[in-house]
Structure formats: structure tokens, C-alpha cells
Amino acid sequence: MSKHKKSALQENEGVSSSEIASDSAIQSFKSKRKKELDINQLTAALLNKNTTALSQAITLVESQNLKHFEKANSLINACLPHANKSIRIGITGVPGVGKSTFIEAFGKHLSAAGKRIAVLAIDPSSSITKGSILGDKTRMEALVKDPNVFIRPSASGDSLGGVARKTRESIILCEAAGFDVIIIETVGVGQSETTVHSMVDFFLLLKLPGAGDELQGIKRGIIEMADLIAINKADGDNFQKAKRAQIDFNNALHHYPKKSSEWQPKTTVCSALKNEGIDEIWKAILDYVHITSENNYFSEKRHEQNKFWLLQTIEAQLKSEFFNKPVIQEALKIQLKLLETNKTTPFAAAEYLLKLRD
Ligand SMILES: Nc1nc2c(ncn2[C@@H]2O[C@H](COP(=O)(O)OP(=O)(O)O)[C@@H](O)[C@H]2O)c(=O)[nH]1
Ligand SMILES: [Mg+2]
């Protein structure tokens, strides 16, 4: 995502907004004498469910500043034994389908049931403007004020991979801070759904009524990932339409092979605005957790995801080390020129460059 439009946040060349934010935020956990971030103090406060500490911990993890990297790692390591006790839910759907409205209704519902909910977002399209959730924070007024709820806008980053890694680490931090339900919101752009799917236990797809056309244009992969399809805006004149859409989606779901989770993906209708059908969705999620805990799929899936993220991290690290080497950067420019004039092939150039790496 290097081709972002310049925004006010990007005035300082080379200093990302998250760095500025992190330096000041982290300040308060710096011991005055040592002038150093006190990780033990921050960890203790976080484990004590202090949300200010959680915010600062996430800021540390998101920091692009290499100085913060080691600290972030020791923070994550300290949090890991305390993580894992939550339900991680991914929510996706086209802009306007009602994700924010749904999260507000769902969040209130869970909070009333005594749950603590953290809302994170993956939105690679707005990594500089800080994502949809921040804009929505004003709309999610009731939720923002709720002491059981923690809302964090999308991390900034250069790539979906980078943003995703930070979100994954943020999930660990939220869990260590005692949140029972972690919601990861994504907008339906690029690969973001696949990315969110790779870090959650349960994947909820929100759809609009009016299925006929809907089914045509839908990305098959996304239906396949969904554990539950909820047709939102099932209110007023749209109720019947939503019910019809539900039938269509149900039929569509039956054409997919049975999942190894033994969970049969379901469809439902809801109205986030009118607060209807929200409890059914929560019950379906609890059913899912029950079934997949019994048959061990729940923890197997998390292990698979951990393996995936281990490999992803190595890949990303190798790539970044490679492309950040000045020797490579220079040689790459030359090879690209040669390629333009047909004096080399992509494969020969790649082999040449890869040999320069050590
Ligand atoms: N009638 C109706 N409108 C809804 C419902 N949920 C959301 N909306 C409206 O749809 C618009 C987009 O909702 P929003 O939550 O911002 O969608 P998002 O872009 O997916 O986050 C807003 O005007 C909402 O008030 C619903 O259940 N019924
Ligand atoms: Mg929204």
C-alpha cells in the first residue's frame, strides 16, 4: 500500500503517525529515572485489565520503530500464557451492510451478559486514515462508553501482511487483558477476508436482502469461509426479502462439501438497527464453540493458524531483510533496467539478486 494519497498525517517524511503516537503514549510507562519503557510495569497493568495499558501495549506492538521491537516481543511473550481464553470472531460484509451497527448491537448484547468485548479492525484500504472504526467510533457512541468494551482502529502499515501481523499480536494482548470476545472487523476488499479468516475461530458474513442478484456477484471463497451468514436489515419492507435471501443462501450452502469442523454453516436474518436476531447469532456462535470444542476442532484450528502465522512471519522477515539491503536495492534497480531492455530474464535476474544476499 505504498501508493496512498498524501494525508495530513503524513506530513513528516519518514515518520509514521503511529511512531509519533507511540512515542508519546509509551512515555507514561517510562520510568523517569531510567528513561526506559518499563515492560514489567506495563505487563502487570495490562494483566490487571487496565485498558490504558492495553492501548499503550498495542501502540508498542504497532510501532515501526526498531527500538520498540524487542520490547514488544517480550511483552507478547509475557502475555502469551494468559491469552487464548477468548472467542475470536471475524465479521465481514460490503460497506453499508451494517457492520458497525451490528457490532454496536452485538457488543451491547454481550456486555449486558457480562462479557468483555474487544473490537479490532483490518482495513488495508485506509491504513493511513486510520480505518473505518475510528470514523465509526463516534457512531458507536454507546459502545465506546461501555467499560466492558475496548475499540481499536485499524493499525497503520505498509501492507496487509504487516497490518495483519500487528492485529494478531493485538488479539493476544486483548486476551491477556481479560477480554472474552474479540471481534475483528474487515471490509470486503482485497485479501482482507482471507487474512481475518486465518486468525479467528468463527467467521460471520453479513449480507443484504435481495439475494437474487447478490448470489450472482458473490465471491465463492467468502461463502465457503463463512460459519454463519446473517442477512441484515431484515426490518420493515425488507423482512420478506431477507427471508427469501436466507432460503437462497441456505440452498447455496448445501452445495458445499461438509466442513471438517462438523459444523454445518447456517443462515439467519437480523436487524442490527432494531436489535432483532442478535441473540440468535450469539447462540449460534456458542453452539459452534461447543461442537468444535467437543471434537477438538477448535484447538486444532488454532494450532493450524499458529503454524500458518509462524511461516508467514518468517516469509515476511526474510523478504524485508532482503529488500532492505542496500546492495540488493542498488542491484535490483540495475536488473530492472536490464529487464526493460530485454537484456535479462526475470528468472536470471532473480537468481542473480538472490545470490547477492549474503
Ligand atoms: N434498516 C436498517 N438499516 C440498517 C441496519 N443496519 C445498519 N443500517 C443502516 O445502514 C447504514 C450503514 O450501516 P453501517 O453500520 O455504517 O455499515 P458498515 O459500512 O457495514 O459499517 C447506516 O445508515 C445504518 O443505519 C438494519 O438492520 N436495518
Ligand atoms: Mg463501518
Give the integer Cα–Cα distance in Å for 266 and 280.
11
CA geometry: angle at 98 spanning 182 and 254, to 5°? 80
Report CA(227)–ligand 1 centroid distance (Å): 22
Q: What percent of the chain clears pLDDT 70, i.e. is strictly above it?
A: 80
List per-block mean pLDDT (blocks of 10 residues) for the chain, which spans 358 residues: 35 34 51 64 94 93 84 91 90 88 95 95 58 56 85 72 85 96 82 87 92 57 89 95 91 83 94 97 97 96 93 87 94 97 96 92
Which residues have CB atoms below 5 A from the ion given as ligand 2?
99-100, 132, 136
Cell triple for 77? 511473550
CA of 104, closest atom in ligand 1: 15
Give the integer Cα–Cα distance in Å for 310 and 298.
19
Pocket lining: 273 vs ligand 1, CB cutoff 6 Å: yes
Nearest to 182 by CA among 244, 133, 110, 112: 110
CA of 139, closest atom in ligand 1: 16
Strands (E), the chain: 30-31, 36-37, 87-92, 117-122, 149-151, 181-186, 202-207, 228-231, 266-269
Query: Which phi and psi (to 5°) does residue 296 adopt?
Result: 75, 0
The predicted model scores a pTM of 0.83
pLDDT of residue 275: 96
Long-range own/partner contacts, residues 6-11 (CB < 8 A, 24 or more apart): 7/128, 7/129, 9/128, 9/129, 9/130, 10/128
SS (H, E, C) 22-36: HHHHHHCCEECCCCE
pLDDT of residue 353: 97
Give the integer Cα–Cα distance in Å for 53 and 48.
9
CA of 97, closest atom in ligand 1: 20
pLDDT of residue 217: 53
pLDDT of residue 96: 85
Pocket lining: 271 vs ligand 1, CB cutoff 6 Å: yes
Give the integer Cα–Cα distance in Å for 9 and 154.
15
Counting Cα atoms < 13 Å in the Cβ hemisphere of 105 gives 20
pLDDT of residue 219: 67
Report CA(272)–ligand 2 centroid distance (Å): 12
CA of 93, closest atom in ligand 1: 20
Report CA(232)–ligand 1 centroid distance (Å): 8
SS3 42: helix
Provide the angle, in degrees to the nearest 10, between the axes of the packed helices 66-79 and 160-176.
40
Contact 78, 43 (CB under 8 A): yes
Contact 166, 155 (CB under 8 A): yes
Report CA(231)–ligand 2 centroid distance (Å): 16
Q: What is the residue-wise DSSP string for 250-314? A: HHHHTTSPPPTT----EEEE-BTTTTBSHHHHHHHHHHHHHHHHHTSHHHHHHHHHHHHHHHHHH
Ligand number, closest to the Cα atom of 102: 1
Ligand number, closest to the Cα atom of 132: 2
Which residue type occupies 32?
K
Pocket lining: 94 vs ligand 1, CB cutoff 6 Å: no
Nearest to 61 by CA among 82, 46, 81, 49: 46
Q: Return the residue whose CA atom lies nearest to atom 24 of ligand 1.
A: 98
Report CA(101)–ligand 1 centroid distance (Å): 6
Report CA(131)–ligand 1 centroid distance (Å): 17
Residues near 80 by beta carbon (within 8 Å), at least 6 away in sequence:
172, 176
What is the dotted CATH code of the domain comprising 83-295?
A: 3.40.50.300
Domain boundaries in the chain? 8-81, 83-295, 303-355
Report CA(77)–ligand 2 centroid distance (Å): 32
Give the integer Cα–Cα distance in Å for 109 and 25.
31
pLDDT of residue 30: 55
